[in-house]
Structure 1
C-alpha cells in the first residue's frame, strides 16, 4: 500500500511547522491548493485555484536597472518594465507555465504558489518534528483551500501518516463529496469543520455556493463517526454572519451534537498582502470587526452551548 500511496502526487502550496491553533498540540500544517468556495473574506487567496500561480512582491524587486533576469527568463514576454523601475506582469498574457521567471529572481520577488509533491516527500518533512508531536499530542493537519477537494491525495496522506504513527487532523469547509468525507474520516484523529451560515441563500451570496452539502457532510461525520472529535468553527464576518440571529441559528444547529465543540473566529485582514501579490482587489476592503460586538456574540452562543463554546482568554 505504501508504494502506491507514497508516490501519489498533489498540489501543495505551503508546509507550516509549529502551529498550535489548528488541532491539538504542536502541528505541521500542509496546505493543499484548490477550493470549491470563493469566500469574500478568504485569508488564503493563493489557495483558491487548483493550478500554480505566480505572485509578485514588489517590495523585494531589485528593479530592472539592477537585475531584470525574470524578463529575460520569461518565454512569453509577459513581464515588462513598469513604473519606477519595477516590473509589470501581464496576467492576461501569462500562461502560468513552469515559471522560470521565479527561479531566475535572486531576491524572491517572484514567487510560485503551488508545487506538485508526493505523499512521501510531504511526510518526510512532517516527520522531522515527531518529538514535538509525541510531547504535545500534535501531528499533521491538512488545510487549504479545501484539502479534501484533492480527495485521493489527501486520503493517501492521511492513511500513510497514520501508518507512520502520526496523528492527523483536517480543516475542511465540507464542500466535497460524502464519499470523500467518509474515506478521510477513517484516518482522522480530529476534524475542524467550518460552518459559516445557516441561511443557504446568504451562504451562496457570500461564498459562491449554497450550504446543503456542507451541512449534510457535517451530519455524516457527527453521526456515522461518533468517536471522531469535531471542532465546529465559524469565522465571524462583518455584514455576513455577525448578527445574534446568525450565530444563534448555528448554535441551535450544533446543540443536539453534544460531543461537538464550537469556536468563533473573529474576522482578520491577515491575507490582504497576498491579494496584492496576486494583483487582485481585496474583496472586504477596510472592514473591521468590533471587539465588543464579538464579545456580545460569544455571550449569546455561550448561553446556548455552555462550556462547549471555546472562548479565548
Structure 2
C-alpha cells in the first residue's frame, strides 16, 4: 500500500527526545490550537509559506510568478499573501533570489522517509538511539505513522512518539505496540481551562494516559509539561497534575519552559493569542521541579 505523509522537518543528532542520539521527524497537522505552540508551522497539515520580510529584495518576482495570484504588492510595497488561495506549489519560494519565501512542509512516501531514517542507523546502534515522531501531532496522520512505525520495528529501530494524547482509543490501540516510548504532554488539569487554551477537552487525554498505564506501559511514558507563565505554572495546575501523576505512579516528567515565538506566527500569517512574552523564571522552574520531586518523580529541566 502506498501511503504518503506531510512532514515539515527532519532533525538529526537530537539528544533530548528519547534515549541516545535520535532523528526527529516533524509531522504536520494537529487537532489542538494551543495559544503558546512553539511549532506553529506544524498546526496545519497543508503546505504553507513563511515570509521573512527582512530578507526581501522587493523584486516582485514572486507576485509575477504565482499561478494562483496569491501574492499581491500594495501601494506601500508590502507583500500580501492570500493564504486562503495559496496551494503551496512552491514556485515562488523556489525562485525567490534572497530566500525571503520558504515553503514549509513536504509530501513524502514511507519508503523515502525510511531512506532518510536509515542514514543514521549506525548512530542509533552506537548510542542506543532511534527515531522520534513529533510535530504537530503525529497521530493526526495515523496511516502514515503506522506504516513508518511498523517499518522501523522491522529494522529494530527504537521508536518514540511525542503526543498531546488527543487521539482516539482505536488509533492509539492499533499503533501502541510499535511505539517504544511515549513522550506524553499534560498541559492543564482543569477541563474548562484546557478548552480555553487548547481548543479541546482534556478528558480523552487523561483517559489515554490511564489506558497506557493500565496496559502495562507505565515505564514507557515520560510526561512533558510546558511551563507557561500565568497559565500552566499556577500552583493549582501544578498541584493538580502532581496528584494525577502520583495516582498513576508515573516516574519521569520533563519541564519545558515557554519561549516567545511571535515572529514565527507573523511569518506564517497566523494569529498569536499569547499576551505573555517572557519565559518562566529560573526560580519558578525550580519550585515546580521540587513539587514533582516531592512525589518521587525524576524531573528533567529544559532551557
Give TM-score, length-normalised by structure 2.
Answer: 0.93
CA distance in 1, matches of 2:254, 2:158: 21
Q: Does 1:44 align with 2:34?
A: no
1:2-13 equivalences in 2 (<5 Å): 4=1, 7-13=2-8
The structural deviation recorded for 1:107 is: 2.5
* CA distance, structure 2, for counterparts of residue 259 and residue 43 of structure 1: 25
Q: 1:17 aligns with which of 12, 17, 29?
A: 12
CA distance in 1, matches of 2:240, 2:180: 28
When residues 164 and 83 of structure 1 are mapped into structure 2, their CA distance, relative to the original with a 3 A threshold, is: farther
Q: Distance in 1 between matches of 2:134 and 2:173?
A: 17
Q: Which of 63, 88, 100 is matched with 2:91 structurally?
A: 100
TM-superposed CA distance for 1:311, in Å, is 4.5
SS at match of 1:14: strand
Q: Is the 8 A contact 1:34 1:144 kept in 2?
A: yes
Q: Distance in 2 between matches of 1:87 and 1:194?
A: 37
Structure 2 residue aligned with 1:198: 189
Shift of 1:167: 1.0
Structural RMSD (CA): 2.0
In 2, Cα distance between equivalents of 1:312 and 1:45? 20
Contact 1:56 1:109 (8 Å CA) reproduced: yes
Residue of structure 2 equivalent to 1:53: 48
Q: Which residue of 2 aligns with 1:90?
A: 82
Corresponding pairs, count:
302
SS in structure 1 at match of 2:120? helix
Mapped contact 2:227–2:258 kept (Cα < 8 A): yes
Partner of 2:110: 119
Match of 2:71 in 1: 79
Greater CA drift, 225-234 or 243-252: 225-234
Q: What is the TM-score with the length of structure 1 in the denominator? A: 0.90
Change (3 A) 1:253 1:82: same
Q: 1:273 to 1:312 in 2, by over 3 A?
A: closer
State how far apart, in whole Å, the 1-side matches of 2:300 and 2:88 are.
Answer: 44
| Matches of 1:96 and 1:300, distance apart in 2 | 48
Residues 307 and 260 (structure 1), Cα distance of their counterparts in 2 relative to 1, 3 Å cut: closer
Instruction: Give the counterpart of 2:287 among 280, 293, 296.
Output: 296
Is residue 2:98 matched to residue 1:134? no
The equivalent residue for 1:70 is 62
Quote how far apart the aligned CAs of 1:265 are: 1.5
In the alignment, the residues of structure 2 paired with residue 96 and residue 190 of structure 1 have an alpha-carbon distance, to the nearest angstrom, of 35
Check if 1:213 corresponds to 2:208.
no
Q: 1:259 to 1:282 in 2, by over 3 A?
A: closer
* Conservation of the 8 A alpha-carbon contact between 1:61 and 1:86: no
Measure how far apart 1:228 and its partner are: 5.4
With over 3 angstroms needed to count, the CA separation of the structure-2 counterparts of 1:117 and 1:309, relative to structure 1, is: same
Displacement after TM superposition at 1:180 (Å): 1.2
